[in-house]
Structures are given as structure tokens and as C-alpha cells.
Amino acid sequence: MLDLIAPFFERLNDTTGLNFSPFYDSYDWGRLLEGMWVSIKLITAIIAVSLVIGVVGAGAQTSRVRPVRWLVAAYIEVFRNTPPIVQLLFFYFGLGAITPQVDMGGWYEPMIGSFGWAVIAIGIFGGSYNVEIFRSGIEAVPDSTKEAAESLGFSQFKIFVYITLPLAVRICLPALTNNIVSLAKTSSLAYVIAVPEITYSLSGIWSDSVNVPEMMVLLFLYYIVLVAIIARIMSVIEHRLALPGYGQ
Amino acid sequence: MIPNWKVSRVTWRAPVLAAGLCLAAALAATAQDGGAARPSALASLVIWMPFILKGFGLNLLMSVLAMGFATVMGVILGFMQISPVALIRVPARLVTHLFRNSPWLVILFAIMLLVPFQMTLPGVGRVMIPDWVKATFGFALPVMANISEILRGAVLSIPSGQWESAESLAFTRGQTLRHVILPQCIRRMLPPWMNWYALLTLMTPMAAILGVDEALGNTQAAMEAAGARPEFLIPFYLFLMTIFFVFIYPLSVYTRRLEKRFAVAS
């Protein structure tokens, strides 16, 4: 792949001074691919964590135990109303300093690395939005549906898992798409704790080769394509899940 | 049955949560107290509090300036987006999409690294552009794009019958926009506008990455100056979160109230 495009970009650099070093330098090429790979892994993990938190939190909000509801409400308010970057630093430096170290046979490594903390911190941040999104979906499920399930002998838990949740997910899918896209963008924050995702690896390239404008173009392009792909996937899911009689 | 429970109904939660955050900070500070000889982490935090708060002032300034700029530019861009002339509409849509779909951090980097640190203005001579001004500009761009999209959405949400009836009363396009469409849009735009202000304020600490001395940068500098002890980390960062929380939470409660009121009214 690189052999194929390298001559063109090398000539571009020589003739116009546009230095797209990742497209002819094999070391920078490796950094670019690594950055994209880590970024995609990071985004997938963050979305997974935030969805789990969203479902569990929304379920907990329907709980009959008051303190549980308060706890979820406090979680939402704290994480939605404080800066995500400070949350990330708090998790990585604050909590990272007191997590146990693992003996790697000669040296010690923290149990959770920067990638892990980025997933946890941004996942929890995104989860606080997802709880609200799922809650709005759950509230939109008609009471009569739930009552019908109740009359068929479903337990509260089974009603949530088999009746409420599947309908709620369909209702809140558009809002969920928005949040997933915004989470994918927020994943670039992991730069501050040196997770080698795309922003971090490209910043390494532009510090080495002094080609900020070119790398910026790449970075913008990467995120725009990424957002388009996510939006496409979500709209396919929306079509697949569409129920007759719900939505358009 | 699911209890009909709403977060915004209970507002006493704000001070309680803020106090809880503060308490957690204080507890963390005392729990990790090293030796008696050095000032405790809590004492250090109290000493450095004014410095951190001063930094927070810059956050507020940046957020207000960026919001003002973003509102003006966003409204202009939004009007361009709904223009009947394709030559105006298409570029406006491109700009909106570019800044809506890119991360804050990337836009911030682009502005900080690509805008020169000094400029030669005709008549004034060489002017230095401080980092925080560039950061303000960088924060304004994504908000601008989103406000433009909000405006477009609001105008589209007005039933087309109103356009037609205004036309039948011989209103020009500009008159229809000014006297019929916009007054209704402003009400619809206010809650999302406030949401974006809150989000913008929450993003301003990112400027610390690029060396602006706002709250986060000052917090890190304070921790460094106080001896860079690991037990500082949790209380200092918790305190920083508390400041933002105290400012943002009332705002978001008020926004939710407005949202609900407008939802009932329309």
C-alpha cells in the first residue's frame, strides 16, 4: 500500500512542499495506522462502557429504593456538570496514583494503564448522558404495554428486560446516535493522558516533521469520515430495528 | 409501575452535591495526610485557592467572549444556510459540518498552531495575539457551527403555512423572517443555546493543554509549586470539579425548567 502511494506523495513534497510524511515515510505510516487502530479500539470500548452504564443506570432509576435513585441522580449531575478533561485527569492521576501496582517480573506497572483510564473516565462521562437518554425512552413506553405484561405475570425485572428496554431503545435511538457521535469526538481528549490514539500520534508526527497544516487536514478528514461512518451504521440499525407503528 | 421522577424537580440537590464534592476533597486531603512536618494537603489547597479561582475567572471570560462571538457568527452562518442562493448555502453548510463533526481538541489545536502569535495590522503595527484569545476563538468555532444548525432547525420547525400566509400579505422574504419567523425561533433556540454555553464552559479547561493559565493550568501549577506530592492530586482536582459544578449546575437546572415550560407552551 505504502509502496504504491509513496512516490506520488514524495514528489508532492518535493514540488509543492506539501509534506504528507505518513504517506511516504514508513515510520510515520506506522504511527498513523497505529493511531487510527488505537482510536477505533478506544471509541468502541468507550461506547460499550457508556451503553452498559446507560442501561444499568436507567434501570436503577426505575428502582423502588429511594437511595438508589438518588445515587444515580447524583452521578448524572456530577458528571454532566463538571469538565470532562478534569474528570479524565482526576481518574488518571488522582485515582491512578492509589490503584495497586502489578509485578511484571522485575518492574511494576499500574493495574490500569492510560488506555484503561481513558475508557473508564470517558465511558462514565458518556454514560451519564446515556442514562438520561434511556430514561426518556423508557418514559415514552406506554403504561398500558407494561400493564399488559404485568397481567401476563412478568416480574418487574422481566418487564424491564423484555418489554420496556427493547421499545425504549428504538424510541431513543436518534438521541443515542447523537451521543455516540459526540463520544467518538470526545475520545480525542485521551490525548491529555498520552493514549496513543490518532490525535496523539499525529501530534507526534507534526512535532517531528513540522507539517502542522497537512496533519491537521488529515485529522479533520479522519474525524469527519469517522462521524459519517458512525451515523451510517446507526441509521442502518435504526432501519433494522424499526417496528411497524412506531416512529416513521 | 415506574415512578414519575424528574431530576429538575428538586433543586436543593445543587448545594448538597457541591458540598459533597467539597467534603470528598477535604476527606481525601486529610486521609492522605503524610507527616506533621509538612502542611497538609488541605492546608495547601486553602493556600492556593485564590490562585485557582483567579484562573477560573479567565475560564469565565473565555466562555462569555467565545459564546458572544459564536452567537453572532452562528446566526449569520445559520441564515446563510437557509439562503435560497446555492452559492451562499453550500459553503455555509460545509463550514457548519466541518466544525460540528470535529472534536473540540482538534479545532483548538488547529487554531492554536495555525494562527500566528502576532499579526501586522494596518495602522496599528505589530500586535501580539495572546494564547487565551486564540483559545477563545478555537472554542467559539464548534459552538458557532452548532448554533447555526440550531437556527436552521428552528426556522425549519416553523410550519410552512406561516411563510405562505406572510407571502399572501405581501411580506418580502426578509420581512417574513424578521417579523414572523424569528420571534418564534428565539424562544425555541434559547434552551439549546444555554446548553451550548454550559458545554462550552466545561470545555474551556482544555486550553490548559496549550499553556493558557486558566483554572486547570493554575491547579496543576499550584500542585507543582506546593511540592508536587501525590496526595494533592485527588483534593485539588476534586476542588476544581466543584468550582465548575457550582457554576454550571444552577444553569443547567434553569435550562431544563425553560425547556419544560416551552414544551408545555408550544
The answer to whether residues B262 and B192 touch, using CB atoms and an 8 Å cutoff, is no
- Give the mutation candidate from B102, B223, B240, B256 for the A interface (greatest A CB count, under 10 A): B102
pLDDT of residue B10: 47
Number of Cβ atoms within 10 Å of the Cβ of B62? 26
Query: How far apart (Å, rounded) are the C-alpha atoms in residues A70 and A73?
Result: 5
Q: Do A82 and B241 touch (CB under 8 A)?
A: yes
Asked if the structure places residue A220 within a domain, the reply is no
Residue with cell 416513521: A248
CATH code of the domain covering residue A70: 1.10.3720.10
Count of CB pairs separated by less than 8 Å, A with B? 130
pLDDT of residue B266: 55
The answer to whether residues A16 and A213 touch, using CB atoms and an 8 Å cutoff, is no
- Cβ-Cβ contacts under 8 Å for A208 (sequence gap 6 or more): A21, A28
Instruction: Report the SS3 class of residue A102.
Output: strand
Q: Do A86 and B1 touch (CB under 8 A)?
A: no
Asked if the structure places residue A27 within a domain, the reply is no
Residues of B in contact with A82 (CB under 8 A): 202, 241, 244-245, 248
The answer to whether residues B131 and B138 touch, using CB atoms and an 8 Å cutoff, is no
Encode pLDDT of A91-133 as tens digits: 998 888 888 888 777 777 778 889 999 999 999 999 999 999 9
Backbone angles phi, psi at B39, to 5 degrees: -65, 140
Encode pLDDT of B65-93 as tens digits: 999 999 999 999 999 999 889 999 999 99
Instruction: Report the SS3 class of residue A106.
Output: coil
Q: Do A61 and B252 touch (CB under 8 A)?
A: no
The answer to whether residues A56 and A161 touch, using CB atoms and an 8 Å cutoff, is no
| Domain extent at residue A116 | 44-190
- pLDDT band of residue B119 (cuts 50, 70, 90) is confident
Q: Do A81 and B248 touch (CB under 8 A)?
A: yes
The answer to whether residues B248 and B180 touch, using CB atoms and an 8 Å cutoff, is no
- The pTM score is 0.86
Closest CA–CA distance from residue A227 to any residue of chain B (Å): 7
The answer to whether residues A54 and A133 touch, using CB atoms and an 8 Å cutoff, is yes
- The beta-carbon neighbor of A188 closest among B106, B238, B245 is B106
Superfamily of domain B41-265: MetI-like (1.10.3720.10)
Asked if the structure places residue A137 within a domain, the reply is yes
The full set of domain ranges for chain B reads 41-265
Looking at the structure of chain A, the number of domains it has is 1
* Residue A93 CA, distance from chain mean position: 21
Query: How far apart (Å, rounded) are the C-alpha atoms in residues A71 and A56?
Result: 13
Asked if the structure places residue A120 within a domain, the reply is yes
Whole-number Cα distances in Å, B240 to A91, A94, B127, B220, B224: 13, 13, 33, 10, 15
Encode pLDDT of B1-57 as tens digits: 444 444 444 456 666 777 777 777 777 766 655 555 667 778 888 889 999 999 999
Closest CA–CA distance from residue A76 to any residue of chain B (Å): 9
Residues of B in contact with A220 (CB under 8 A): 98, 102, 106, 110
ipTM of the prediction: 0.87
DSSP B27-66: HHHHHT---SSSPPHHHHHHHHHHHHHHHHHHHHHHHHHH
Which amino acid is present at B55?
A: G
Asked if the structure places residue A102 within a domain, the reply is yes
Encode pLDDT of A132-170 as tens digits: 999 999 988 899 999 999 999 999 889 988 998 899 988
**DSSP designation for B123:** T
Instruction: Report the SS3 class of residue A184.
Output: helix
